[in-house]
Amino acid sequence: MTEALWTSAEIASATGGTASAEFEAGAVAFDSREVGSGALFFALTGESTDGHKFLDQAFASGAAGAVVSSQTPHPNILVGDTTIALENLARASRKRISGVVIGVTGSVGKTGTKEALFECLDRIAPGEAHRSVKSYNNHTGVPLSLARMPRETKYGVFEMGMNHAGELLALTHMVRPHVAVVTTIAPAHTEFFASEEAIADAKGEIFQGLEPGGTAIVPFDSPHRDRLIAAAEPHADKIVTFGLGEGADVRAIEILPGQPGGTFVTAQIGAANEDGGRTLGFTLSQPGDHWVANAMAVLAAVDAAGGDLEQAGLALAEMGGLAGRGARFKTGAGDGTALVIDESYNANPASMRATLAVLSETRATRRLAVLGEMRELGEQSAAFHAGLAGPIRDAGVEALLLVGEGMAPLARALEGHIELVHVPDAAAARERIETMLRPGDAVLIKGSNGVGLSRVVAALAGRA
């Protein structure tokens, strides 16, 4: 019989709460819509909602118990503050495992890298790897992901995000990684940061939570490499760089187009003249140089965690596209089909350029792009949006559908140079793209998550 994820006694002990009844939980949730049979429901309170209003719904869905801050007839653990209780349960979960924990952050690529790491580690230790699901990377998502971690976990992978200085510091002290990865530093959340250097400093906070003997993994090709290394040095026993440039500790030394649409990579792990330096050839299922760089970060982390690199290479070859982050599918277009590249989850200037480059390498009769505005860019927003004109032309985009008011500077920059439609929102984009697609097209869909382009993707998937 599988041991319960949490017993009521363990939850009460970890949170300092009082149990109204004995129960066992096999899952943890704070969204009543995610509650299934045997789950523990945290009734979190926030500025706009109160989880206590959804207790009946959670128990109707099969909840075994709830963590609450007010009386309820349902089986519960009564605490003073449910958010603090979730954090305390997360710390208890982290404390009880003996496996290797990996933390991942960055302006671009952290979710894809986290997912690729999980695929590799799950192949190495089937059923014994755990990761944060979706993009649960903030002050509630990280503790939830920790609280969900089984006690027998051999490898735990946690994504950590931030949009203000100091946020990552709190998260990394909760996760306490043995391996800390920074993927890429790029303009993102610039509304809240004075410079890209300030973003690098905020991302570098992840190293402050490293366990003794831990490893810091840093992007070699970043202009902020030395800044990140300096941030890691007081906390890391070992610093490993990754990337495409000569001198990186884990480096792609050969990159060749693969079929269908992937990349064949030869990676060097450790300097060639170092004792123990190795090479690994593998097929990367995802296209684009940004994914090659992500894969180098993954190999560096797997190696630091003591994992099997050959098994990791096999996992990278078999990894499917992630919804909202590169998944591909065919949709009906006239009397034929068109290819959809789903990058709808989020966007910043660096990720826009990277995915436009992928579109440029995609075989198609015609290339289209549906681009939503990039948010949280502050005073530089107009310049960042207009700056996409060059990458769009370089990608050979023949028709462009721009979504949101923030895209106005780009529309002005490209007016008269490309077939262009500018609409106010995702609903209008959904209607317009239906009339634009032709057989043989490849269409990239990308924008900040708040724009809602996932609805456009869902509509096109529905007619596949």
Q: Where are the domains of the chain?
A: 6-84, 97-318, 327-461
pLDDT for residue 22: 97
Of 289, 215, 220, 290, nearest to 248 by C-alpha is 220
Q: What is the pLDDT of residues 33-60, one digit of tens each?
A: 999 999 999 999 987 889 999 999 999 9
Is pLDDT above 70 for 296? yes
Give the pLDDT of residue 170: 94
pLDDT of residue 123: 96
Q: What is the mean pLDDT of residues 372-381?
A: 90
Report helix angle 82-96 to 8-15, nearest 10: 110
Confidence of residue 464 (pLDDT cuts 50, 70, 90): low
Average pLDDT across the chain, whole number: 92
Identical fold, 6-84 and 327-461: no
Is the pLDDT assigned to residue 133 strictly greater than 90?
no
C-beta of residue 338 within 8 angstroms of C-beta of residue 442: yes
Q: CATH classification of 6-84, choosing from 3.40.1390.10, 3.20.20.70, 3.40.630.30, 3.40.50.300?
A: 3.40.1390.10
Beta carbons within 8 Å of 205's beta carbon, 6+ residues apart? 162, 165, 166, 168, 169, 172, 231
In this structure, CATH architecture of domain 327-461: Alpha-Beta Complex (3.90)
Per-residue pLDDT tens digits for 224-240 = 999 999 999 999 999 99
Q: Please list the alpha-helical segments (H only) found in 305-376.
A: 309-318, 349-360
Task: With a cut of 50, say whether residue 327 has pLDDT above it.
Answer: yes
17 CB-near residues (< 8 Å, 6+ apart): 11, 67, 77, 78, 79, 85
- Which conformational region is residue 177 in: left (phi greater than 0), alpha (psi within -120 to 50 degrees), or beta? beta
Which contiguous run of DSSP H or E holds residue 116? helix 110-124
pLDDT band, very low/low/confident/very high, at 108 (cuts 50, 70, 90): confident
pLDDT of amino acid 274: 53
Q: Is the Cβ–Cβ distance between 265 and 286 less than 8 Å?
A: no
Pairing relation of β-strands 278-284 and 263-269? antiparallel
Q: What is the pTM of this model?
A: 0.82
Is the pLDDT confidence value at 81 over 60?
yes
User: Mind listing the pLDDT tens digit for each residue in 308-320?
Assistant: 999 999 999 988 7
Given this model, what pLDDT does residue 325 score? 79
- Identity of the amino acid at 230: A
Residues 6+ apart with CB under 8 A from 57: 32, 35
pLDDT tier, 192 (very low <50, low <70, confident <90, very high otherwise): low
* Beta strand ranges found along 220-326 (DSSP E): 238-243, 250-257, 263-269, 278-284
Question: Which amino acid appears at position 261 of this protein?
Answer: G
What does the alpha-carbon distance between residue 268 and residue 31 come to, in Å, rounded to a whole number? 43
pLDDT at 1: 41
Is-contact 174 135, C-beta < 8 A?
no
Q: Is the pLDDT of residue 189 over 60?
A: no
Residue with more model confidence, 374 or 379: 374
Q: Which residue has the tokens 């089909």?
A: 337
Q: Is the pLDDT of residue 157 over 80?
A: yes
Cα 365 to chain centroid, rounded: 31
Q: Is the pLDDT of residue 369 over 80?
A: yes
9-37 residues labelled b (16+ CB within 10 A) or e (exposed): ebbbebbebebbeebbbbbbbbebeebee
- Mean pLDDT of the region 153-168: 91
- Token output for 67: 């963590």
pLDDT of 447 over the 80 cut: yes
Average pLDDT over residues 78-105: 97
Smallest CA-to-CA distance from 323 within 432, 177, 461 is with: 461
Classify domain 97-318 at the CATH topology level.
Answer: UDP-N-acetylmuramoyl-L-alanine:D-glutamate ligase (3.40.1190)
> Rounded to an integer, what is the distance from CA 38 to the centroid of its chain?
28
For residue range 198-222, what is the model confidence (pLDDT) as tens digits? Answer: 999 999 999 999 999 999 999 999 9
Q: Who has greater pLDDT, 389 or 138?
A: 389
Measured distance CA(103)–CA(180) in Å, rounded: 5
Rg (CA), the chain: 23
Degrees (nearest 5) of the Cα angle 144, 154, 16? 40
Alpha-carbon gap, residue 243 to 258, rounded angstroms: 19
CB atoms within 10 A of CB 279: 12
Q: Once rounded to an integer, what is the mean pLDDT over residues 251-264?
A: 84
